[in-house]
Amino acid sequence: MSEARSRGRPIGQNTRRGIVRGIAADAPVVALGRAICGDLEQGLRREWLVTNGLGGFASGTLAGVATRRYHGWLVAATDAPVGRRVLVAGLLERAMMDGTAFALHALEFADGTLADRGFEHLESFILDGSIPTWTYALEDALLERTVWMERDRNTTYVRYRHARGTRALDLSVGALVTDRDFHVLLRAGEPPAVELLPDGAAVRWSVGETRLIVRAANAAFTPDGAWWLGFRHREEAARGLDDTADVWSIGSHRVLLEPGASWTLVLSAEDGSADGSEGALPDGETALAAARARDTGLLLDARAERSSPLVRQLVLAADAFIVRRPEAGAAAPVSDAGRSIVAGYPWFNDWGRDTMIALPGLTLATGRPRDAAAILRSFGRWVADGLLPNDFPSRAGATPEYNTVDAALWYVQAIRAYHEATRDDALLDVLLPVVRTIVDAHVEGTRHGIGVDERDGLLAAGEPGVQLTWMDALVDGWVVTPRMGKPVEINALWYNALCTVGPWLIDRGDAAAGRACMAMAERAARSFRARFWRRSGRRRREPAPEPGVRPVAAVPPPEWPCGQIHPRSCRSRAPHDIRSADPRSARSRLPRHVRRRPGGP
C-alpha cells in the first residue's frame, strides 16, 4: 500500500515552536489542581480512560469512586474488539507513614456510605500524553500513581512512585476482582478459585472463564478471600438501572517504598509463556517507556510534533478508538490484520456508520493511512446485499445487524477520502467491485425496503419496526423516529455516492457504467431540488408520519448553497435550508434518555 499521507501542512503546526520531545515538553492540556481534585462532586464529573487497541480499557472517575458499571482497572476484550469483561473492579490502596494510614481509594456503598475518601489527599492530576497520573500529598510526602495499558494485550499497569519525602512509605495495594460482562453487575455467589503465585495470585471464576493474574515484583503478597458487598454505582441509578454490585478481595501486595523509588502492579488477562508457566514478570519501567515512546511515534506519524499541545492531545486521543478486528467473512479466512473503530466508550462496539464518518479524522488526519486501509478492507468483507453492518454484537461470532440505510453510503465517502489523501489506486481497484455491488443493490432494491424509486431517482427506505437512519432510538420495539420514505440526508449521500463512483468507473475503462451513474446522479439532483429545497417561501419536507418541519444535517453537493442553522433553535435562520420533522411533534418531546441513540443496556 502507498505510504503517502495527507498532503499539505502538518496538522495544527505552529512554526514558531521548535521540535518537542513528546507531549510532556509543554504544560499538559489536562492538568487539574487541588481545588478540583479535592472536591468530590468535581471529581465524580471527570473521568479517565486508557485503552489497549483491542477494545479493552481501564477507566474510572478522578475521585476514585466507580460510578458506572463500566468502570474498572481491567476491562478485558476477550474476543477483540468485543467480549469485554470487567475483571478488576477496584483497588484498595493505603500508604502508612509513622503509624498514620492514608487511603488513596474511595468507595461508595448502597447505604449511602462514602468510605476512605482518598480524593481528599489528591493534590493534582495530569494527562501526560495518553497516560494519566495522580499525585497525592501525604504530610510532607508526594506519592504518584500512573496507569496505562500495554498495546494489543489485556494488561494494565499501575505504577506508584515516591516522588518526594524524607521517610519511606509502607504501601499496600489489594485488588477487588470480578468476572462479568461489562453490561451486567455481579452479586455475591460462589467465590473464585485463587492460585497463589510467587509474586501474586491467579484468579479463575469457573472452568473456561478468563484467568486473571495479579502480580508485582519485590513485594509481599498476603491472601485474603472475602466478599465486599453492596458497592453503589450512582450513574446507573441515575439511568434507572440496577446499581449495586459485589466484588471479591483476593489479598494485597505490600512494599516499602523509599523516596525516589517506584513500584508497579500488573493486572493481566493474558496467558503465561508457551510452556504453561507464567513467564517473566514485565518490568514496569520498561513498559512505561514503551508506552511513552508509542505516544511520541504517533505524534511523529501525524507530523504534529510541532503542533500546539491541544492538537497533540487530540492526535493521541484518536488512538483510543482504533481497534483490532480480525478479518472474517464469507470471502476470506480469519486473520489478525483487520481494523475497526469503536463508536464510543464505555459501552459502544464498532458501528458501520460511525466508523466511516470518523475514519478521515481518526486516521487520515493523524498520519495513519495503513489503519485506514485496513478498516476499509475489513468492512468490505462484511458487505451483504449492498449493505454495511449497522453494528457488531458484543460477542464474537454473532451475525451483525444490517439495519442501516446510510452506512454503506458513508463507506463510499470514506473510500473517496482515503483515495484523495493517498492516491492508493491499488486499494481502490480492490474495493471498487464491492462499491459496485453497493450501487447495484440500491438501484435494484435490497433489505428493509431500501431502493431507488423509479419515478424520481431518489432513494427510499423503511419498513415497520426497523430504524434505519442515525435517528435510531428504539424503545420496547417502538421506533421513535421511523422516517420511512426518502430521508433528506440519505438522498444527499446517495447523490454523492453516484458522483463518486461514476468517475472511478470511467477512469478504469467502464465508460458505460460510469455514465449510467452520472445520469442517475443528475436525475437524483433534479428531484432533490424539487422535493427538499426551500427558497424563502413555501417549506418543503421529507414525508413524515406527523406534520411539521425542522432542519436536518445533510451532505448536499458543494455547488448548492447552504445557509446557517441557528445553534439554539430548531428553526432555520437561512434563506436556503433542508427540512424534515417538526420539533413540536410528539416524538421530539420524548425524555432525553429515550430520544438518544441506544447503546447501553
Identify the CA nearest to 182 among candidates 108, 73, 83, 107. Answer: 83
Interval 332-345 mean pLDDT: 76
Containing structural domain, residue 395: 368-595
Distance CA 407, CA 490 (A): 10
Between 235 and 330, the higher pLDDT residue = 235
Task: Please give the backbone phi and psi of residue 112, each rounded to the nearest 5 degrees, phi first.
Answer: 95, -5
Instruction: Place 545 in a pLDDT band, splitting at 50, 70 and 90.
Output: very low
Tell me the mean pLDDT in the region 80-87: 94
Is 378 found in the same domain as 260?
no
| Amino acid (1-letter code) at residue 119 | F
Of 111-115, 419-423, 564-568, the one with minimum mean pLDDT is 564-568
**HSE of 434, CA atoms in CB hemisphere, 13 A:** 22
Task: Report if residue 499 sits inside a domain.
Answer: yes
C-alpha torsion sign, points 522, 526, 531, 533: positive
Beta strands in 494-590 (DSSP E): 534-535, 576-577
Give Cβ neighbours of residue 275 (< 8 Å, ≥ 6 apart): none
How many domains does the structure of the chain reveal?
A: 2
Whether residue 466 has pLDDT greater than 80: yes
Count of other CB atoms within 10 angstroms of residue 48: 18
- With cell 500495554, the residue in question is 150
In this structure, the answer to whether residues 275 and 400 fall within a common structural domain is: no
Is residue 535 scored above 70 in pLDDT? Answer: no
| DSSP alpha helix (H) spans, 445-509 | 488-507
Same domain, 73 and 206: yes
Domain membership flag for residue 601: no
- Please, which residues have CB within 8 angstroms of residue 523's CB and are 6 or more apart in sequence? 456, 457
Instruction: Give the number of other Cβ atoms within 10 Å of residue 150's Cβ.
Output: 19
Residues 409 and 521 occupy one common structural domain = yes
Do 251 and 384 fall within a single domain?
no
Residue 281 has pLDDT above 80, yes or no: no
Greater confidence, 445 or 272? 445
CA pair distance 259, 249, nearest whole angstrom: 29
Whether the CB-CB separation of 180 and 186 falls below 8 Å is answered with yes
Q: Other C-beta atoms within 10 Å of 41: how many? A: 8
Provide φ and ψ at 254, rounded to 5°: -130, 130
Domain stops at, among 214, 249, 280: 280
Residue 147 φ then ψ, to 5°: -130, 135
Question: Is there a single domain that holds both residue 387 and residue 514?
Answer: yes
pLDDT of 520 strictly over 90: yes
Residue 295: inside a domain, yes or no? no
Task: Pick 480 or 534 by higher pLDDT.
Answer: 480
Q: Supply the pLDDT for residue 1.
A: 42
- What does the alpha-carbon distance between residue 187 and residue 185 come to, in Å, rounded to a whole number? 7
Taking the C-alpha atoms of residue 424 and residue 411, their distance in angstroms, rounded to an integer, is 16
Q: Closest by alpha carbon to 309, among 10, 26, 30?
A: 26
Q: Are residues 272 and 378 in the same domain?
A: no
State how far the alpha carbon of 470 is from the alpha carbons of 255, 403, 445, in Å. Answer: 52, 11, 20
Q: What is the pLDDT of residue 272?
A: 58
Q: What is the pLDDT of residue 12?
A: 45
Half-sphere exposure of 40 (CA within 13 A, CB side): 12
Q: Which range, of 21-30, 482-491, 493-502, averages the lowest pLDDT?
A: 21-30
Residue 590 in this model has a pLDDT that exceeds 80: no
Q: 6-20, 272-286, 424-438: which range is least confident on average?
A: 6-20
Asked whether residue 328 is assigned to any structural domain, the reply reads: no
Largest CA-CA distance found in the chain, in angstroms, rounded:
85
**Within a domain: 401:** yes
Rounded CA separation 174/120 (Å)? 20
**Whether the Cβ atoms of residue 204 and residue 197 lie closer than 8 Å to each other:** no
Indicate the pLDDT class of residue 279, thresholds 50, 70 and 90. Answer: low
- How many CB atoms sit inside 10 A of residue 333's CB? 8
Final residue in a domain of this structure, among 232, 257, 280: 280
Q: What is the pLDDT of residues 204-239, one digit of tens each?
A: 998 668 999 999 999 999 999 999 999 999 999 999
> Is-contact 445 457, C-beta < 8 A?
no
Measured torsion, CA atoms of residues 269, 273, 278, 283, in degrees rounded to the nearest 10:
-80
Give the pLDDT of residue 13. Answer: 41
> What residues contact 71, with CB distance under 8 A and at least 6 apart?
59, 60, 61, 89, 233, 346
Predicted local confidence at residue 328, as pLDDT: 58
Indicate the SS3 state at residue 14. Answer: coil
Q: Are 388 and 405 in contact (CB under 8 A)?
A: no
Give pLDDT, residue 395. Answer: 74
Write out the three cell numbers for 437. 455491488
> Can you give the pTM of this predicted structure?
0.85
Query: pLDDT at residue 7 above 60?
Result: no
Examine residue 285 and state whether it is found in any structural domain, yes or no: no
Say if CB 57 and CB 269 are below 8 A apart.
no
Residues 466 and 64: their CA atoms lie apart, in Å, by 41
Q: Which of 280, 304, 320 is the last residue of a domain?
A: 280
Coil, strand, or helix at residue 296? helix
What pairs with residue 144 in β-bridges?
135, 161
End-to-end CA distance of the chain: 40
389 and 256 share a domain? no
Q: What pLDDT does residue 534 have?
A: 72
Q: Residue 326 domain-assigned?
A: no
Cβ partners under 8 Å of residue 550, min gap 6: 570, 571, 579, 580, 581, 582, 583, 588
DSSP 222-290: EEEEEEEEEEE-HHHHHTTS--EEEEEEEEEEEEEE-TT-EEEEEEE-S---TTSS--PPPPHHHHHHH
Cβ(458)–Cβ(494) below 8 Å: yes
Residue 535 and residue 426 share a domain? yes
Q: In this structure, are residues 188 and 227 in contact, taking their beta carbons and an 8 Å threshold?
A: yes
- Say if residue 184 is in the same domain as residue 77: yes
Residue 554 pLDDT greater than 50, yes or no: no
Q: Are 437 and 443 in contact (CB under 8 A)?
A: no
Number of C-beta neighbours around residue 563 at 10 A? 14
The enclosing domain of 137 has a CATH number of 2.70.98
Cross-strand partners of 212: 203
Residue 275 has pLDDT above 60, yes or no: no
Residue 340 lies in a domain: no
DSSP string, 114-181: EES-GGGGEEEEEEETTEEEEEEEETTEEEEEEEEE-TTSSEEEEEEEEEE-SS-EEEEEEEEEEEEE
d(CA 542, CA 487): 6
Structure confidence by residue, pLDDT tens digits, 339-349: 999 999 999 99
Rounded to an integer, what distance in angstroms lies between the CA atom of residue 209 and that of residue 212?
9
Q: Do 419 and 545 fall into the same domain?
A: yes
Q: How far is CA 258 from CA 163, 215, 263, in A?
A: 9, 20, 10
